[in-house]
Structure 1
Amino acid sequence: MSAPPATPMFERIAFIGAGRLARTLAPAWAAAGQRVVAVASRQHSAAQDLTLQLPGCQALSPEAAVSAADLVLLTVSDDAIATLASALPWRVGQAVAHCSGATELSALAPAERAGAAVGGFHPLQIFSDPARAARLLAGSTVCIEAMDAGLSERLHGLAAALGMTPMHLRPGTRAAYHAAANLAASSLLAVLAEAQQVWAAIGLPAEAALPALLPLARGTLDAAEARGLAGALSGPVARGDAGVLRAHLQALDGLGAAHGHFYRELLSRQIELAAQAGRQPEALLAELRRLLAD
């Protein structure tokens, strides 16, 4: 026998913005027993398409969506959050949360002045493919910020309904938090792109780089998950192999100063991980630091 639906954390939920994040969260919450009643979007057709997955949900104007809901999720671009917060008809007892990682809750001040509780609900996941993202929600982290204790409790409940792990953010830290998340996500692509450029510079087919290097990258991430960052470290820094590291630097400097500089920046962080792992004596790590500085 199937489990009964979850008790709704809010009586009525609305989304303003019908992009990839809304197309992931709204159906997931509806499937978990939450009552999603309205979707609004600059492109009305996008809102209509999303409502087809949400029984009892309507495609409305932003103003009508706010009037219809107890909790409003702003799943719009960062630049649009403050404008919407200033323009919409908030009311006492209502709640509004934006889903941006970088924008402070001060952008929602007009809603708060109108009597609404304000918060942030930022899932740490990639939403380029909503169907895939929905499968990855359970076990992912969501960063929650809310000064109102009742709203905080309800946002935690919504996270639990999706099997997500909540993490708290302090006011004023969102930009740094989001920058760190970007380092762990799209910045990995920059490292792979650099590897691809180096291969191409020495005559290897650029199109072969990604298929060859992705298993290596996945293996490294799997090791980090199992043993932590310092425990997963491998390569010349982990082995304390100054000769190989010197050869790397000479080769990359020969291809252009930018390649050598990029590599030095990355390896300086690796040396700190090696120090944390404690597998090499400090004298050897100091030698590696001098090599990078030279």
Structure 2
Amino acid sequence: MSVSSSAERPSKRPVTVLGAGAVGTALARRMAGAGITVAGVISRDVSAADRLAAAVDASVAASNEEALPASTRAVFLCVPDDVIGDVAYRLAQIDHPWHKTVVAHTSGAVPAAVLGVLSGEGAALLSLHPMQTFPGPDHPGAFDDIFVGLEGDPIAVEYGAALVRRLGARPLRLSANEKTRVHAAAALASNGLAALLAVVREVLGTAGIAPDDATAVVQPLIDRTWSNLSQESPESAMTGPVARGDSGTIRKHLDALQSAAPHLLPVYCALAKEQVRVARRADKLTHDQAGAILDLLRSSDPNI
């Protein structure tokens, strides 16, 4: 069996997962549930490898790459970005039919080429990045209808696309340059949103609202905003003082933050500046209104 002969038959490729953390666990469980044979689980934490291997009926659970099952025809490196190259180097030292094997990593920040040492052994390289957050391993629906970024050797990408569809997700083919930009966008959408909510809770805290209550206070607003955004563009969905050109209210916001949480002024100003750009694209603000708001923001943050 060559790499190309089974590129679009994921069920014919036994896989080994390296890394039994949140991503590795979620991926292995989903693959097993989709009828894909998980031949092995390898993790520095051997107890984690044992638990995941038992959950997916893998015959091998180990803490060393040398235990890679000979039947493996797809390897998934679900490990921290800064060790991917080292793991790939150790794998390349193993006597394995690499010319029949796809090797993938799940990082969104680095290209498939980081696995380059295995290309020299004949492996087809793939970057497979789920556009999803994995705060813990027990999320059976985490792959449902999500996009998964794919980049790498053409044969490996074809295999990845077939695998992603089998997992119930949607493939998104990217170049190496595109994938880094997409990952930046994904980080803003997920981690940036979490950071923004933390800022919101902190500001509400200055008004005496406890953190848990703060989330409840803004939850209906967030839900309605997301509902609007799911049906129309950000330009159309945007409301509020910036979109209305209400400089007086914005000044009050800046004064309140200066008094209660001055360290958050740069966050407010940066987001308000972006709201001005969005509102201008939607023709909700005149040139003069936009200029007045930007001048006001600069009075609180000269970097705007």
Could you tell me the TM-score, scaled by structure 2's length? 0.87
Please give the alpha-carbon distance, in whole angstroms, between the structure 2 residues aligned to 1:149 and 1:215.
Answer: 45
Evaluate the alpha carbon distance shift between residue 253 and residue 172 of structure 1 in structure 2; reply closer, same or farther with a 3 A threshold. Answer: same
Please give the alpha-carbon distance, in whole angstroms, between the structure 2 residues aligned to 1:150 and 1:87.
Answer: 23
Post-superposition offset of 1:247: 1.2
SS of equivalent residue, structure 2 residue 129 = strand
Report how many residues are paired. 287
Please give the alpha-carbon distance, in whole angstroms, between the structure 1 residues aligned to 2:76 and 2:245.
Answer: 50
Give yes or no for contact 1:13–1:71 (8 Å, CA) kept in 2.
yes
2:113 corresponding residue in structure 1: 106
Give yes or no for contact 2:10–2:159 (8 Å, CA) kept in 1.
no
Post-superposition offset of 1:7: 5.2
Please give the alpha-carbon distance, in whole angstroms, between the structure 2 residues aligned to 1:127 and 1:170.
Answer: 24
Give yes or no for contact 1:9–1:154 (8 Å, CA) kept in 2.
no
Post-superposition offset of 1:15: 0.5
The letter for the 2-side match of 1:220 is T
Give yes or no for contact 2:41–2:58 (8 Å, CA) kept in 1.
no
2:134 corresponding residue in structure 1: 127
The letter for the 2-side match of 1:121 is L
Give yes or no for contact 1:86–1:110 (8 Å, CA) kept in 2.
yes
Post-superposition offset of 1:279: 2.8
Evaluate the alpha carbon distance shift between residue 198 and residue 36 of structure 1 in structure 2; reply closer, same or farther with a 3 A threshold. Answer: same
- Which of 64, 67, 75 lines up with 1:64 in the alignment? 67
Give yes or no for contact 2:21–2:137 (8 Å, CA) kept in 1.
no
Deviations 1:244-294 (A, max 9, x none): 112111211223532222210111111111122223333322322222223
Deviations 1:134-154 (A, max 9, x none): 3131211111001x2221111
1:74 corresponding residue in structure 2: 77
Please give the alpha-carbon distance, in whole angstroms, between the structure 2 residues aligned to 1:203 and 1:55.
Answer: 52
Residue 35 (structure 1) aligned with residue 40 (structure 2): no
Please give the alpha-carbon distance, in whole angstroms, between the structure 2 residues aligned to 1:256 and 1:45.
Answer: 45
Post-superposition offset of 1:127: 1.1
Residue 160 (structure 1) aligned with residue 165 (structure 2): yes
1:189 corresponding residue in structure 2: 194
Deviations 1:7-39 (A, max 9, x none): 535421110111111211112112212121111
The letter for the 1-side match of 2:84 is I
The letter for the 2-side match of 1:186 is N
Please give the alpha-carbon distance, in whole angstroms, between the structure 2 residues aligned to 1:11 and 1:208.
Answer: 49
Range that drifts further, 85-94 or 266-275 = 85-94
- Which of 47, 51, 54 lines up with 2:53 in the alignment? 51
Evaluate the alpha carbon distance shift between residue 248 and residue 117 of structure 1 in structure 2; reply closer, same or farther with a 3 A threshold. Answer: same
The letter for the 2-side match of 1:142 is V
Residue 84 (structure 1) aligned with residue 90 (structure 2): no
The letter for the 2-side match of 1:65 is L
Deviations 1:80-110 (A, max 9, x none): 2111101112522321000011123232011
Range that drifts further, 134-143 or 87-96 = 87-96
Give yes or no for contact 1:10–1:154 (8 Å, CA) kept in 2.
no
- Which of 267, 271, 288 lines up with 1:266 in the alignment? 271
SS of equivalent residue, structure 2 residue 39 = strand
Q: Share of identical aligned residues, percent?
A: 31
The letter for the 1-side match of 2:231 is A
SS of equivalent residue, structure 1 residue 26 = helix
Give yes or no for contact 2:164–2:170 (8 Å, CA) kept in 1.
yes
Task: Provide structure 1 residue ranges, at least 5 long, that are not aligned to the other structure.
Answer: 1-5
Evaluate the alpha carbon distance shift between residue 14 and residue 284 of structure 1 in structure 2; reply closer, same or farther with a 3 A threshold. Answer: same
Give yes or no for contact 1:7–1:33 (8 Å, CA) kept in 2.
no
Please give the alpha-carbon distance, in whole angstroms, between the structure 1 residues aligned to 2:227 and 2:137.
Answer: 24
Post-superposition offset of 1:173: 4.5
Could you tell me the TM-score, scaled by structure 1's length? 0.89
Give yes or no for contact 2:129–2:149 (8 Å, CA) kept in 1.
yes
Please give the alpha-carbon distance, in whole angstroms, between the structure 2 residues aligned to 1:192 and 1:121.
Answer: 29
Give yes or no for contact 1:125–1:140 (8 Å, CA) kept in 2.
yes
Post-superposition offset of 1:181: 1.4
Q: CA RMSD in A?
A: 2.1
Deviations 1:98-130 (A, max 9, x none): 001112323201111111111100101111133
Task: Provide structure 2 residue ranges, at least 5 long, that are not aligned to the other structure.
Answer: 1-7, 300-304
